[in-house]
Amino acid sequence: MGQTNATTWRGFVFLGFSGFGELQLLLFALFFSLYLVTLTSNVFIIVVIRLDSHLHTPMYLLLSFLSFSETCYTLGIIPKMLSSLVMGRQAISYEGCAAQMFFSASWACTNCFLLAAMGFDRYVAICAPLHYASRMDPPFCARLVGTSFLSGYLFGLGMTLVIFHLPFCGSHEIQHFFCDTPPVLSLACGDTGPSELGILILSLLVLLVSFSFITISYVYILAAILRIPSTEGRKKAFSTCASHLTVVTIHYGCASFMYLRPKASYSLERDQLIAVTYTVVTPLLNPIVYSLRNRAVQTALRSAFRGRLLGAG
């Protein structure tokens, strides 16, 4: 009977923020504003890095791809969420839900690997500055970016297959605003233990492998910085890593809390609010952090604004 229902029914319904009543319009205004700023900021970072020749370096190349990945990640989630806040419960097909999970998981995993690549870039720049140009040459950077995207897609596909090979024969209401792994898995029939273990293993691989690369890179970076004799030199060296460290802390903090917890600690209502942090807020912090803490980006942004003002005049 369960198998029959699983094959005849092919859709889900997002409950989203339906329990917030009249506050939904206020949430729409808030999230829509944040989304516009996020989209504009990340696209602006990409364009500025592309147009300013002073930013044509491996570090900013990787930053531009991180902004691109963050932009794609939000495009797959937030428009549907905004629609549900205005129009109420939103339906999504079985295939659409699987596609949304695949792309959101893929871009999230890609972000992890790109952050690891950026950590390696900082390691080479600080620990082997004389060899930076030869080691971080364009072909190697292209391989870093390509590997990050390919690995992200493979892990995203694995997570999607682990969940969507299960039958769905019970409730079709997702207590969430997008097809994230915990709320969708909670609707599956039968024994979900192997799938839960599979998701945990895949999440551990993505987070621990990428974070281990970042940690090892910064152990060497810290050792190199401590060997710099002058205080001013140490501050200057560390300042080149501060933006990256800030983004890493926020990104891995949210991801670890959501995907490395035991099932007993899941709370779909609470997790939905927490998910707002890594789907709306975290993608916004990337361009803000790099814009506020990075002088080269600040200079390029000021030049771009001056150019636009002069062009308008």
**Do residues 74 and 46 lie in contact, with contact meaning Cβ atoms separated by under 8 Å?**
no
Q: From the DSSP assignment, how many helices (H) and strands (E) are in the chain?
A: 13, 3
Decide if pLDDT at 73 tops 50.
Answer: yes
Q: Which tops the pLDDT comparison, 25 or 156?
A: 156
Burial bucket for residue 59 (CB in 10 Å: 0-12, 13-18, 19+): buried
Q: Which residue has the tokens 């890179």?
A: 217
**How far is Cα 228 from Cα 259, in angstroms, rounded to an integer?**
39
Token pair in block for residue 209 = 């492998």
The mean pLDDT of the chain is 82
Report the C-alpha gap between 193 and 47 in whole angstroms. Answer: 45
pLDDT for residue 252? 80
The pLDDT of residue 121: 93
The number of residues in the chain equals: 313
Note the pLDDT of residue 286: 78
Give the confidence band of 3 by pLDDT, cuts at 50, 70, 90.
Answer: very low
Predicted pLDDT of residue 4: 42
| pLDDT per residue as tens digits for the range 114-139 | 999 999 999 999 998 889 989 999 99
Place of tokens 């390029």: 300
Please, what is the angle between helix 23-51 and helix 282-293, to 10°?
Answer: 40
Q: In the prediction, which pLDDT does 185 show?
A: 87
Task: Check whether 312 has a pLDDT greater than 80.
Answer: no
pLDDT at 182: 83
DSSP codes joined into one string, 275-307: HHIIIIIHHHHHHHHHHHH-HHHHHHHHHHHHH
